[in-house]
Amino acid sequence: MAAQALGLDVGGTKILGVRTDGGGRVLDRAQAPTPAEDQEATLDAMISVARGLLVPEVRAVGVGAAGMVEAGTGVLRFAPNLAWRDVPISARMAEALGRPCLVDNDANAAAFGELRFGAARGYRHVLLVTVGTGIGGGIIVDGRPFRGAHGFAAEIGHVVMDPLGPPCGCGNRGCFEQLGSGAAIGRLGREAAREDPRSRLATLAGGDPEAVTGEIVTRAALEGDVQAVGILGTVGAWLGVGIAGLVNVLDPGVVVVGGGAVTAGELLLGPARAAFRDAVEAADRRPVVPIVAATLGPEAGAIGAATLALEELGGAP
């Protein structure tokens, strides 16, 4: 029987599970809401999703979790959007499912999925930047995930870019994710709607400037609203500057940008590429580093987690 694996992507709002074969093909999928304020309820929901997908061919389980996962132990030490501290996810999942379980950061898992089956296929050195409410990162070095000494590498969203900038949930100010993410798009959109209550942004929000979200700004921009296009340009420029700094450090062959904010397409990525070229060291003396959109969509993390588990725990080559 061909080996299969389960992959779970555990975020602040939902748990997405897939069952895949060795080629990354999704054979089955399931989803459940994340009871993010209740640690035990979240673990129970994860186990329930996995049990619903489990078949005898499954050799291993992979979990991509939005937080700081300790290397080698599968313990999630800290999660900014979940009520989790020092949770032995790997041990709990393995005990419940009777399969070995690998746990990694969700962006690391997504980066590996894009490496194997998506936009980074054919590259050996990859930087994944996930742009949603915040900013996450995954690093591939010589074809394998780079986790650092403790497993906490690639927390790129909390690189401080403007010490006087907006406050961040991590306790600092002006973090990358406060300037170049979906949260930044929404914040600037609300500011614009307050200044002009008759704007398209305010109209789409039902006349309430405080109801403007990043999704509303993106919708208005795709309709051609000049104000919204400008907001995406500003945030895209910050995104490009942040990517330039990371490229200076990591020297990847490609930068893959994923996450919900990428629905804005070139309205976000175009300004990001322009700012990147202006900010990266010796742009005219180094090989071009493409900045491309991810292709696996919202299942990238789950597919990557399953593939990592199969390769590292399930005996797949």
Shared domain check, 249 and 137: yes
Residue 286 has a pLDDT of 95
Shared domain check, 279 and 233: yes
Shared domain check, 140 and 201: yes
317 in any annotated domain: no
Q: At what angle do helices 106-117 and 300-312 cross, to 10 degrees?
A: 80
**CATH number for 88:** 3.30.420.40
Whether 260 shows a pLDDT value over 90: the answer reads no
Shared domain check, 260 and 139: yes
- Which residue segment(s) compose the domain that 131 sits in? 122-295
248 in any annotated domain: yes
**What number is the average pLDDT over the span 122-130?**
97
Whether 314 shows a pLDDT value over 80: the answer reads no
Q: Is 172 exposed, middle or buried (0-12, 13-18, 19+ CB in 10 A)?
A: middle
Whether 87 shows a pLDDT value over 80: the answer reads yes
168 in any annotated domain: yes
178 in any annotated domain: yes
**60 vs 13, more confident:** 60
If you ran DSSP here, which 8-state letter would residue 167 be given?
Answer: B
Shared domain check, 179 and 30: no
For residue 119, the Cα-to-chain-centroid distance in whole angstroms is: 14
**Are 64 and 299 spatial neighbours (Cβ–Cβ below 8 Å)?**
no
Whether 12 shows a pLDDT value over 90: the answer reads no
The model's pLDDT over 96-107, given as tens digits with 9 standing for 90+, comes to 999 999 999 999
Residue 315 has a pLDDT of 65
Shared domain check, 206 and 279: yes
134 in any annotated domain: yes
The model's pLDDT over 21-47, given as tens digits with 9 standing for 90+, comes to 999 999 999 999 999 889 999 999 999
The model's pLDDT over 141-181, given as tens digits with 9 standing for 90+, comes to 999 999 999 999 999 999 999 999 999 988 899 999 999 99
Shared domain check, 61 and 46: yes
**Are 73 and 93 spatial neighbours (Cβ–Cβ below 8 Å)?**
no
The model's pLDDT over 292-311, given as tens digits with 9 standing for 90+, comes to 999 999 899 999 999 999 99
Residue 176 has a pLDDT of 96
Residue 103 has a pLDDT of 97
Give the rounded percent of residues in the chain with a pLDDT score beyond 90: 88
Shared domain check, 184 and 83: no
239 in any annotated domain: yes
Alpha carbon distance 270, 133 (integer Å): 20
The model's pLDDT over 39-71, given as tens digits with 9 standing for 90+, comes to 999 999 999 999 999 999 999 999 999 889 999
Instruction: Give the pLDDT band (50/70/90) at residue 317.
Output: low
Residue 133 has a pLDDT of 83
Shared domain check, 193 and 147: yes
Shared domain check, 92 and 40: yes
Shared domain check, 216 and 84: no
Shared domain check, 172 and 38: no
Q: How many domains does the chain have?
A: 2
Residue 82 has a pLDDT of 76
218 in any annotated domain: yes
- Measured from the Cβ of residue 117, the count of other Cβ atoms closer than 10 Å reads 19
Q: What is the pTM of this model?
A: 0.91
